[in-house]
Amino acid sequence: MSNLSLMVIDPSITHPEIESFNKIVEDCPFPCTYHLPVLSDIDSISRSLPHSCGIIILGSAASVHDRSDWQSVLGEVLEKAMSIDMPVLGICFGHQFLAYQLGGKVDYLWNKEQKKGTREVLIKANGLFNSNKTFNLIYSHQEGVVECPNDFDISASSEMVNIEGIDHRSKAVWGFQTHIEASWSFAQRQGIVLDEYERSDRDGKMLMQSFFDKI
């Protein structure tokens, strides 16, 4: 473990979420590497996989239906990671990508309208978080997972979105639609005020720490 790092993949197509990466680094108990497969080096994630202990796939304005070259590379990395039981966490686009890549369905939720803000999400006891608990979390998206892939259960839901989270039944693979990693700068761009952010930040850190504990 001492020579391995957590691979954080930022598939941003316009604005790198470096602040969110920095926030992950602050809380993570082991080294992290940062990868921009769209804006920088598409192959860095493949090169870094043998030196990684886990993977986080962040959000993006891209759609899983784009089927871009970088998504093909990311799919290959995901397949290899799962084959060696490496823990994987997908957030927002990352959550959708996991589901789509593994056989689930992703579609527009609100007639292509993008919605953003905070919402209450019920996390159900699962392999990542061992009790039922309601969290207040940040969201910003227009698509969502509408059908779980095989071998996954729904691990979280809300009044707005039925499949807020997915949990693999036998592997350390999880996805969350909400931004449990959100930085204050990201929250500000979504029009979220400080007191809302601070509550979501506390809840998001609890879930992120649960992932760190699985690595």
Residues noted as catalytic: 92, 179, 181
pLDDT tens sequence across 25-66: 999 999 999 999 999 999 999 999 999 999 999 999 999 999
- pLDDT for position 201: 97
Provide the 10 A C-beta neighbour count for residue 44: 17
The strand pair at 5-9 and 52-57 is best described as parallel
Those residues whose C-beta lies under 8 Å from the C-beta of residue 5, and which sit 6 or more positions away, are 30, 31, 32, 33, 48, 51, 52, 53
CA angle, 26 then 131 then 196, to 5°: 50
CB distance 163 to 148 below 8 Å? yes
Those residues whose C-beta lies under 8 Å from the C-beta of residue 22, and which sit 6 or more positions away, are 183
The domains located in the chain, with CATH, are 5-213 (3.40.50.880)
In which residue ranges of the chain is pLDDT below 50?
none
